[in-house]
Structure 1
Amino acid sequence: MMTLPKPKNVGASDRNIRLAAGGVLILAGLITSSIILDILGLVLLATGALGTCPAYFLFKINTIKEGEE
């Protein structure tokens, strides 16, 4: 079964922070052999790359500024 794509709800500055933090967490996870840090880093990278955060949908948060796409 195919689902419709969810609208984006992560703004540009939020995306940049997620991508940077995700990279740092993955690196820290690799250095410390922590699977938890790696998983958290992957989640941040995925939500940053896709521009959609499921938790934001639950709380009705949208960080996209007007005129930003």
Structure 2
Amino acid sequence: MKTNVGGFDKWARVVVGAVLIGWALTGGPLWAWIGLVPLVTGLFGFCPLYRLLGVNTCPR
């Protein structure tokens, strides 16, 4: 897995993912668990969809 998520994109994913999971934990809708996807991709710095599309927001 080569890193393809970096900078603002990475932090935005972590924040959005954490907010959605927090919402799900406090009685939000079931679909809010989708927040796991941006959280994990932000923490690992790798997005499979970005790889398929040839996108790289990592400065390296």
Which structure 2 segments of 5+ residues have no match? none
Q: Work out which of the two has the higher radius of gyration on C-alpha atoms and give 1 or 2.
A: 1
Give the TM-score normalised by the residue count of structure 2. Answer: 0.86
Q: Unaligned regions of 5+ residues in structure 1, if any?
A: 1-5
Percent identity between matched residues is 38
Give the count of matched residue pairs.
Answer: 60
Higher relative contact order (CA 8 A, sep 6+): 2
Normalising by structure 1, what TM-score?
0.77
- RMSD of aligned alpha carbons: 1.3
Q: Which has the higher helix share?
A: 2
